[in-house]
Structure 1
Amino acid sequence: MLRTIVFAILVLLMFERCAQMVPPTGGKRDSIPPNLVESNPINKTLNFKGRKVELFFDEYVVVDNINQKLVITPEADNPYSYKQNGMSVLLTFKNQFKDSTTYTLNFGDAIKDFAEKNPAKNLKIVFSTGSTLDSGRVYGTLKDIRTGKPLFDALVGLYNVSDTLDIAKQKPYYFSRTDSSGVFSIENIQTRDYKLIAIDDKSRNMLYNAKDERMGFWGKTIKAGTDSVAYNLNMYLSDNTQLKVQRTLPKVNNYTVVFSKAIEHAEVTFVNKDSLPYLLEPNGTNLKFFNVEPHPDTTIVKLKTLDSLGKTTEFEQKIAFQAQRGKTRQLDPVSLTTLPEANKPVTNTFIYKLILNKPVRSLDDQKIAIISDSLTHEPLSAFKYSWNKNHNILTIDAKSFAKDTVKFDIPKGSIVTVEGDTLPKTMLRHPVLNEEDYGVIRGRVTNADTSMHFILDLVDEQYKVIETLHESPYVFKNIPQGKYFLRITIDKNRNKRWDTGQMDKNLQPEPIYYNPDKILLKANFELNDINITIPEEK
């Protein structure tokens, strides 16, 4: 009897195991996205008064980061919760929707099938709380003005026209996000006047952060629904925040004033005829003063700064170094960089820069030598050279007769900084450029009148500037083999740099255009008639 019972239990277990549902282990992968079969309210419903939106699909679905991906326009400021129930998703809103308004719920890829996570495509519900649906539409593209590349997932907004519009504090009334091609489309909007503005919106809070987000705007008010043109916006950085002294870093040897953003120039005026060496560090935010005896305990300076927008700001600043402890100071080491960079090839006639991290007090131009192929030693005094205003950058008009290598021999003690320290013995080496290993690119700028000023850049595939010219016809010589783009900037204010836009002044950035064709350059080749055309302004 016991054997019979045990046998029966084993048979039941085998049948139960055979009846278990397991996913198939082979076959074709499911690539079909879930389809919306019904919604409540149905799409394009009028006079909707409810607070719940429910979607029904033809298969089991999951919800993926819906709070980030669901775009509701106009911006409703109406919190919601969601509930996933097999083949349906229910949204419950806290408040009633605003009367006589058309709302669009664009789900993006927030809802996917359960098995393979294929997102539902073009999932959008439109309804109106009034008796009509708004039919206005605004569309276009975004691109980065410096690279010409389209921008993905940037926020494009329609703002109510106002003299007090502040996109750092006000969210757009209608908005959309760009696809991978930089294309945007804002639909079912009221036909009236708007301000069209785009921002990076990296934080996804729909507010503009000028410190690190690009923006672009249409210079005129647009009327959604009546304008049939595509709005193509250029995006750029434009930090219009007020420049401030963010903090100070007092030390025994130096005192650093740290600004809230990078500046391009600082004019320093010392009060009471005192003086200290100083320099603006390469990051553009740190203005460093050096402790050189004798000087009073506190030095007062007036600062006049210039930022990237051309705006000047004036400060009065007290410079007070920390008290020294002990008999000797611990100095920051002297560092040196060069242009061209170390080991980069040079021609026999070239401009050379020595860049130090401290102002220089003295230089012995008899000891520093330029060596050609280890045979010819010429002292620096034989060449023309000059210092910058802060005495930390030495520019040399260099010449050599080397066939293989040019060297700069800088003995210890030949360069002494304002702090009394020096470089260790330094030997800088550069191979002599072999023209057969490089190429030449020639061409001209077309459609440019004689009064037009421009900046012509040869850039690589990472948009790093290889060389810059300002004339036409042009010649780029000694260019390494590689792939390049030709870029031209219209220098409207003739300051030989690109100037960004300023929305508060309704000022667009200086135009930038690319030659559409990539340049493929081989060693020992000359490419001629590589012309770039400036489009006619409309």
Structure 2
Amino acid sequence: MLSKLKNLVLFSILSGFISILMLQSCAQMATPPGGKKDTLAPKISESIPLNKSRNFKGKRIDITFNEYVGIRNLSQELLITPSVGTYQTKIRPQGLSILLDSTLKDNTTYTFNFRNAIEDASERNIGKNIKLVFSTSQDIDSLQIKGKVRTLLTQKHPENILVALYPWNDSVFIHTTKPYYFVKTDTSGNYLLENIAKGKYYMAAFLDINNNLLYNSNKESVDFLSEKYIDLTKNVEQNFAISLQNQDSLKLSKTTATAKSVLYEFNRGIKSLTLSNVPKAQLYYQQEDSKNLRFYLLNQSNTDTIFIRATITDSLNRNYQVPLKIKFRELTKKEKVQKQDLTFEVKPTPGKLLSPLDSIQIKFPRPVQQWVSTNILFKTEEGEILSLPDQAFHWNQFQNNLVIRNAYLPSRSKFEMSITKNAFVGIDADSSIVYTQKMEWQDIENYGSIDGNITSSEPNSEFIVELLKADTFEPYMTLKTQKRFEFTNVEPGIYQIRVIADLNKNGYWDIGNFKLRKKSEPVYFFDGKIKLKANFQISDLLINTQK
């Protein structure tokens, strides 16, 4: 009897528990099936202060939206102009509060631009450029500056470029002064600065990588006004073309010594260099990655310190005298000098045809100390075996790149280049192996040509014209001219044409100097891409530099 009673109690408890679970399940809220998807972005329904209100003196801003929202990357997305200093935020399901740490300035119009920070909680529809504007005085400033930002060397229109506006004075420098008004470009490179007071301003646009509102010249692309200021009395349009303008002085940043080489790493590019006090027939060197110098000692048993002086021209054409103290590390007992074959790369690579303008290039990983030109032979299909005169060969400054000039190559449609064993000896006494490669000239009818003219308002102007691969912006051909340009024997493909105004006629593009408010040399593009087919001639292109 007692056992039956226990079972009845357990059954009653279990039934009650299941009933509770079923009731909870029935009470859960669910999105009803069907119906239209929410595609509307959130909007401000209430705010303190109200949008476009006047005489606001508070230190707390409250914003409520018309639906539940999510708030993301507020510290990055929220742009407050002019700056209010530090502040705290409190997030609510339908809004947020901003608590200011300092008092607002008198006679000032403030803009709180949330950009892409606000999205609805259900479908994540982003409220684009949600703004709250108010004034601490009777008047709301209403002037605007709008424009577009592009990259000078590619013509692309980048997003999130900081466009900065500074109250003008003689001590304004964009690397030490934070802007009074600022905004960031949208996905099309457009910007709009609103609610600006009348006055004189300086302007700049730069990629603010670290979001500190200060320009960093060695990392961030920039453009700026070359004039002293803008006297803002009406709405204006101002466009910018940004480029990297690293003004850092050349410095030695790191030295790495091994038993075989000493590597000097510099902080910026090296355009050219000469050495003095170099021991004869012992020291070899080469430039690596445009910034670094590596030295090799021919006689590795010599561990004496070598003192030399390098005269270096950096990428800004500035000259430096750099003393170098070269000390090779001694070989340890565990280290063994293992001789390896001297490798090299040949261009054009195997299987690729020679264009009518091609020379043959042989590139080595390290300098070559000995070689014999007659060990490079050319065999034609007719059975001819040819060796070339010494003037057919040209070594670069570092003795690690050999060019066999186009004019001396066999004119037969097909031939074979043969390099005998030990034709080249490296600085480690490593020798090259036997190498053969079949070569074939491409039919000239498989190429095309492109020509045109440059219009300029300045007489005797000089230009650098670059034919670029359209997908990579890699220069394919380059020439210098005053007006007319012509590219011949061009491979079929899609290209763009970039024109650099060589203002100082030094033969290369010069970057600007933001401290001197000197802009980079102007760059122009032919509008649109050029699709060149085999045996086609594209003529009379016109590139206008009078824009």
Under a length normalisation based on structure 1, what TM-score does the superposition of the two structures give? 0.90
Q: Single out whichever of 520-529 and 111-120 deviates more from structure 2.
A: 520-529
Q: Deviations over 1:36-78 (max 9, x none)?
A: 1111111122232222111112111111111111011122322
Residue 152 and residue 374 in structure 1: after superposition, are their counterparts in 2 closer, same or farther (change >3 A)? farther
Report deviation, 1:214: 0.8
8 A contact 1:200–1:215 mirrored in 2: yes
> What is the one-letter code of the residue matched to 2:499?
I
Instruction: Identify unmatched segments of 5+ residues in structure 2.
Output: 1-7
Residue 163 and residue 442 in structure 1: after superposition, are their counterparts in 2 closer, same or farther (change >3 A)? same
Match of 1:247 among 225, 246, 254: 254
Match of 1:488 among 499, 503, 506: 499
What is aligned with 1:215?
222
Residue 95 and residue 328 in structure 1: after superposition, are their counterparts in 2 closer, same or farther (change >3 A)? same
Match of 1:361 among 369, 382, 388: 369
What is aligned with 1:74?
82
8 A contact 1:201–1:208 mirrored in 2: yes
8 A contact 1:279–1:288 mirrored in 2: yes
| 1:278-289 alignment runs, 5 A limit | 278-281=285-288, 283-289=289-295
What is aligned with 1:402?
412
What is aligned with 1:93?
100
Under a length normalisation based on structure 2, what TM-score does the superposition of the two structures give? 0.89
Q: Single out whichever of 130-139 and 457-466 deviates more from structure 2.
A: 130-139
What is aligned with 2:162?
155
What is aligned with 2:530?
519
1:24 has 2:35 as partner: no
8 A contact 1:34–1:58 mirrored in 2: yes
Report deviation, 1:234: 1.0
What is aligned with 1:468?
478
What is aligned with 2:68?
60
Q: Deviations over 1:335-388 (max 9, x none)?
A: 434454554321356333323232222211111123444843322437622222
Query: Within 2, Cα distance between the matches of 1:432 and 1:448?
Result: 43
Query: Within 1, Cα distance between the matches of 2:112 and 2:160?
Result: 17
Q: Single out whichever of 344-353 and 226-235 deviates more from structure 2.
A: 344-353
Q: Single out whichever of 132-141 and 314-323 deviates more from structure 2.
A: 132-141
| 1:289-328 alignment runs, 5 A limit | 289-293=295-299, 297-326=304-333
Residue 252 and residue 382 in structure 1: after superposition, are their counterparts in 2 closer, same or farther (change >3 A)? closer
Residue 314 and residue 193 in structure 1: after superposition, are their counterparts in 2 closer, same or farther (change >3 A)? farther
Match of 1:454 among 447, 463, 473: 463
What is aligned with 1:51?
59
Query: Within 1, Cα distance between the matches of 2:447 and 2:281?
Result: 52
Residue 437 and residue 491 in structure 1: after superposition, are their counterparts in 2 closer, same or farther (change >3 A)? same
| 1:84-483 alignment runs, 5 A limit | 84=92, 86-223=93-230, 225-226=232-233, 228-270=235-277, 276-281=283-288, 283-293=289-299, 297-326=304-333, 329-330=337-338, 334-347=342-355, 350-373=358-381, 375-381=383-389, 384-398=392-406, 399-404=409-414, 406-447=415-456, 451-462=460-471, 463-471=473-481, 472-483=483-494
Residue 97 and residue 389 in structure 1: after superposition, are their counterparts in 2 closer, same or farther (change >3 A)? same
Residue 427 and residue 207 in structure 1: after superposition, are their counterparts in 2 closer, same or farther (change >3 A)? farther
What is aligned with 1:501?
512
> What is the one-letter code of the residue matched to 1:424?
I
Q: Deviations over 1:215-256 (max 9, x none)?
A: 111111333532644211111111111221101011111111
Count of paired positions: 533
> What is the one-letter code of the residue matched to 1:40?
I
Q: Give secondary structure in 2 for the equivalent of 1:444.
A: strand
8 A contact 2:245–2:513 mirrored in 1: yes
Q: Deviations over 1:113-151 (max 9, x none)?
A: 110011123311112233432333222111111111111
Q: Give secondary structure in 1 for the equivalent of 2:247.
A: coil
The root-mean-square deviation of aligned C-alpha atoms, in Å, is 2.8
Query: How high is the sequence identity, in percent, across the aligned residues?
Result: 30
8 A contact 2:144–2:192 mirrored in 1: yes
Q: Deviations over 1:153-177 (max 9, x none)?
A: 1111113445554433432222110
> What is the one-letter code of the residue matched to 1:291?
L
Query: Within 1, Cα distance between the matches of 2:121 and 2:168?
Result: 44
> What is the one-letter code of the residue matched to 1:297?
D
Instruction: Identify unmatched segments of 5+ residues in structure 1.
Output: none
Q: Single out whichever of 343-352 and 66-75 deviates more from structure 2.
A: 343-352
Q: Give secondary structure in 1 for the equivalent of 2:40.
A: coil
> What is the one-letter code of the residue matched to 1:457?
E
Report deviation, 1:14: 4.5
Query: Within 1, Cα distance between the matches of 2:243 and 2:102?
Result: 38
> What is the one-letter code of the residue matched to 1:438?
Y
Q: Give secondary structure in 1 for the equivalent of 2:134.
A: strand
8 A contact 1:196–1:221 mirrored in 2: no
Q: Deviations over 1:70-109 (max 9, x none)?
A: 011122322322222x222222222322333222110001
Residue 55 and residue 442 in structure 1: after superposition, are their counterparts in 2 closer, same or farther (change >3 A)? same
Query: Within 2, Cα distance between the matches of 1:333 and 1:145?
Result: 45
> What is the one-letter code of the residue matched to 1:420?
A
Report deviation, 1:296: 6.6
1:533 has 2:546 as partner: no
Indicate the structure (1 or 2) with the bigger Cα radius of gyration: 2
Query: Within 2, Cα distance between the matches of 1:238 and 1:53?
Result: 40
Residue 204 and residue 277 in structure 1: after superposition, are their counterparts in 2 closer, same or farther (change >3 A)? same
Query: Within 2, Cα distance between the matches of 1:192 and 1:342?
Result: 66
8 A contact 2:355–2:489 mirrored in 1: no
Q: Single out whichever of 128-137 and 49-58 deviates more from structure 2.
A: 128-137
Query: Within 2, Cα distance between the matches of 1:25 and 1:467?
Result: 62
8 A contact 2:173–2:515 mirrored in 1: no
What is aligned with 2:3?
none
Q: Single out whichever of 469-478 and 406-415 deviates more from structure 2.
A: 469-478
Residue 96 and residue 376 in structure 1: after superposition, are their counterparts in 2 closer, same or farther (change >3 A)? farther
Report deviation, 1:390: 2.5
8 A contact 1:193–1:221 mirrored in 2: no
> What is the one-letter code of the residue matched to 1:517?
G
> What is the one-letter code of the residue matched to 1:73?
T
8 A contact 1:335–1:357 mirrored in 2: yes
8 A contact 1:213–1:237 mirrored in 2: yes
Query: Within 1, Cα distance between the matches of 2:366 and 2:119?
Result: 59
